[in-house]
A and B are shown apart, each in its own frame.
Chain A
């Protein structure tokens, strides 16, 4: 672009103004940084990230990685991150399923189902999330039986105040995981093949073989591994159970609370999306003698997805960040472990910077994924 116009040229003015604003922002940031470093030095507060390699000296109640008090602060943060991710991913999945069910239920013509769904949505949306988490945690810890009286639900599965204890495989988890991945891939591959065949020959694209593949392959892997390795069964001890896998009431309360809370919002989003598709579509589908369920599945929901995906991404981001409330009910997520580290080392600035970076990355990843999905769905009709 030509800048020869001088001040009378709007493009030139725009560039100069923007450069000035940028310089101003840079000066403010630099001033804050220098001020911060000066204050920290003046008060003799230690700075730097060296603490990440020091021994943590504290235990963590639930960890998906092998961890003990001799591990480093850095490892502790990783354990916390994994805990957060587990809750975030499972929460997103569960809340979408629950939200979908409730959303469609609220549109039902059944005089009992629709008001029930609406009541659930109104109740859950209007009570603060923290209170709901406290409630679920209190319910679980009060109602669950003490470890000494824990009932055995199935052979090797016990339910107690200390959590749901279940038997796990000593080893071979990798093989089962591989079976699961193979099952998913095979299901996808079959789906594509059968859809191509449907387009070319008019034969129906069947759903049941996909489900069979999805379940049978991991099941076969499980049976194979179970036949060859031992089970790690939880054994009752004086205070609880040792061995086996465990899902603590903290994790359960957090998952249930978060999922139900976000499900209410997701239900409303879906309801709005479905209602936004014009009445003409459902009438046209009805005139082709499609049932209500088929109309929803084949005509309405695919068109509603365009409207639904961005707010859905919003809810997923909310859920991922709300996992930080875990500290209130004793679940050792990233925020909780970060807090402990701040207290033990005193380096609040560094740890908060790390936490902010992690949450930012997590949120950006979720929103990038949803944007990609949105772009795909926006081309609906070109199948």
Chain B
């Protein structure tokens, strides 16, 4: 190559670099991949009623799958598509670590170990839960402290195993764990009488009692909640932009409930003069652009899945077979723990 060509090449590269430095940061790898694919891949539970369960026609329903749909609509727009990958407790984190799924939207508890050492990040809490025990009414138990010497069925790889050990040691009673690979095997062993108790998150216990028990009235959930199990979406640590999108989509859904925006009235709300609602729905301000999305991100998320309250009522609320009260999952202004950081 002669000198003129080499100098010209160097000059062109410099100009390109300067131009590149002036533009906003390029989209992170996950957002790029999702946009290119045209669909978001979410890891979900293999079958937990109310959270992520496939109905008889293969459609996934539940609180966590609705959240995946909300993120999908926020990111991909009207042509949003989602692919749900059912994962067992032992596969779920490895699947996310390897990039096989973009996000985990399942009943997975937020703990320090999971945040710090798996290379993953929790993007918030969409359900405050706790661990409990399901026992047959025929045993006549009033409290979990009476379970001294009992056999307890549970699934491997969950926080349930650890919490059981802690709870029984703290109360100076003993138990025999029977751990299975998958939740449904643990349930089957429990209902066949192998164990006196089945231990999992309260939400799972409610769902199991309704759907798996031959007669739900023969079984009771003991009153003690032996641990905190905040459930939230999980993303990889290597893409903080994706993490921010997931986090703020959840906040937007909670903020929508605080501001009274529902999937039914969201179109009228676009005309609203309330500055908070305008910022949320993108009528004013540039919040979407700051996230790397367009202005209608929250509008689409709310229109698709509803605000947080609607998601709760539709999937696990008092009118569903699970019959759960808002409890800790109510808005902070109503005595619960759902608190959206300011969407501004």
Name A residues whose Cβ lies closer than 8 Å to a Cβ of B: 40, 42-46, 57-61, 69, 137-138, 141-142, 146, 161-162, 237-240, 242, 248-250, 327-330, 332, 336, 339-340, 342-348
Contact = CB atoms under 8 A, between A and B. Distances in A.
A146 B193 contact: yes
Interface string B151-174: 101001110011011101100000
B267 interface: no
Interface in B127-161: 139, 146-151, 153, 156-158, 161
Given A45-B118, A328-B185, A60 B149 contact: no
Contacts of A137: 189
Interface stretch (B19-27, B44-52, B89-97): B89-97
Interface of B: 89-90, 93-94, 97, 113-114, 117-119, 139, 146-151, 153, 156-158, 161-162, 164-166, 168-169, 175-181, 185-186, 188-189, 192-194, 196, 236-238
A162 B176 contact: yes
Contact of A345 (B113, B169, B236): B113
Contacts of A347: 117
Contacts of A142: 192-193
B194 A141 contact: yes
A330 B193 contact: no
Given A146-B193, A249-B194, A348-B94, 9 more contacts: A58-B161, A61-B179, A240-B149, A242-B149, A327-B181, A330-B178, A330-B185, A346-B118, A348-B97
Contacts of B161: 58-59, 340
B93 A239 contact: no
The listed residue with most B CB atoms (<10 A of its CB), out of A69, A239, A342, is A239
Contacts of A327: 156, 180-181
Contact of B147 (A46, A239, A250): A239
Given A69-B169, A239-B151, A346-B117, A339 B181 contact: yes
B238 A43 contact: yes
Contact of B177 (A57, A61, A343): A61
A112 B272 CA distance: 88
B16 to A, nearest CB: 26
B150 to A, nearest CB: 4
B194 A43 contact: no
B192 A138 contact: yes
A239 B149 contact: yes
A338 B225 CA distance: 28
Contact of A336 (B93, B151, B156, B164): B156
Contacts of B188: 138
B104 to A, nearest CB: 13
Nearest to B93: A346
A45 to B, nearest CB: 4
B179 A340 contact: yes
Contact of B181 (A45, A336, A342): A336
B24 to A, nearest CB: 23
B50 to A, nearest CB: 23
Contacts of A40: 119
B157 A342 contact: yes
7 contacts: A44-B238, A69-B169, A162-B176, A242-B149, A330-B194, A339-B156, A343-B90
Q: Which of B156, B158, B189, B238 has the most CB of A within 10 A?
A: B156
A141 B149 contact: no
A242 B150 CA distance: 10
Contact of B149 (A46, A238, A340, A342): A238
A332 B161 CA distance: 13
B128 to A, nearest CB: 22
A204 to B, nearest CB: 53
A273 to B, nearest CB: 37
B238 to A, nearest CB: 5
A3 B171 CA distance: 77
B90 A329 contact: no
A343 B162 CA distance: 11
A240 B185 CA distance: 21
Contact of B180 (A57, A242, A328): A328
A250 B178 contact: yes
Contacts of A58: 161-162, 164-165, 177
Contact of A46 (B93, B117, B150, B158): B117
B327 to A, nearest CB: 28
A328 B181 contact: yes
A138 B191 CA distance: 11
Contacts of B175: 59
Given A45-B118, A342-B90, A59 B151 contact: no
A328 B183 CA distance: 11
A343 B157 contact: yes
Nearest to A250: B178
A157 to B, nearest CB: 19
A44 B93 CA distance: 13
Contacts of A332: 179
A59 B156 contact: no
Contacts of B90: 339, 342-343
Contacts of B177: 58-61
Contact of A44 (B153, B168, B237): B237
Nearest to A242: B149
A60 B238 CA distance: 35
Most buried by A among B161, B175, B186: B161
Nearest to A346: B118
B101 to A, nearest CB: 14
A81 B276 CA distance: 60
A242 B188 CA distance: 25
Which 10 interchain pairs have the tightest Cβ spacing? Answer: A343-B157, A346-B118, A45-B119, A43-B119, A69-B165, A239-B150, A58-B161, A141-B194, A141-B192, A46-B117
A250 B195 CA distance: 12
Interface hub of A40, A69, A138 (most chain B Cβ within 10 A): A69
A44 B192 contact: no
A349 to B, nearest CB: 10
Contacts of B194: 141, 161-162, 249, 330
B237 A43 contact: yes
A57 B157 contact: no
A286 to B, nearest CB: 54
